[in-house]
Amino acid sequence: MYALDALGLHWDAEVVYQRQHLEYYEAAFMQLINNNVVYRCTCSRNNSEALICPGSCREKIVSDVMPYAWRVKTDQRTISFYDEGHGLIQHTLDTQYGDFIIKRKERLFAYQLAIVLDNYLQGVTYVMCDCDVINSMPNKFIYNHF
């Protein structure tokens, strides 16, 4: 916040912290479970040779005893949006990203879920992002599952 102030960028509303939205995250997460678009995954970064999750845990029964994360089932849909700096951006989630985590093994909600709900709750309709995160934007289309 201090860095933003130093740059002359001032927030004109009350500061909201993610810990204030946990009930919304949980409700949305339960909706994703009920819609059958998420699954438990026991894969770790260490035992995964592929950078893209192949969805090998989709049909696996994972007990509550094992540590697991929750992943969103991606499909072959092409996600498209227009970025004023980069033009038309198109991605196919399943082949370019694979199934992505929305709740980590530590039971913390992942950025991919939290940011979508935070933006919705705050009425954000326009997002500016830099080149380093433009490729993660398609994952934010998770709201299509609600």
Domains of the chain and any CATH numbers: 16-145 (3.40.50.620)
pLDDT at 145: 54
Mean pLDDT over each residue of the chain, to the nearest integer: 82
pLDDT at 127: 75
Alpha helices in the chain (DSSP H): 2-6, 22-34, 93-96, 111-121
> Which residues lie below 8 Å from residue 96, measured CB to CB, with a gap of 6+?
52, 138
Whether the pLDDT of residue 138 is over 70: the answer is no
Residues 7-64 have pLDDT tens digits of 888 877 788 888 899 999 999 999 999 999 999 999 876 554 556 777 888 988 888 8
pLDDT at 142: 62
Whether the pLDDT of residue 114 is over 60: the answer is yes
- For the chain, the 3-state helix, strand and coil shares in percent, each to the nearest 5, are 35, 20, 50
State the DSSP H helix or E strand holding residue 41, giving kind and residue range, or none if neither: strand 38-41
**CB 62, CB 68: distance < 8 Å:** yes
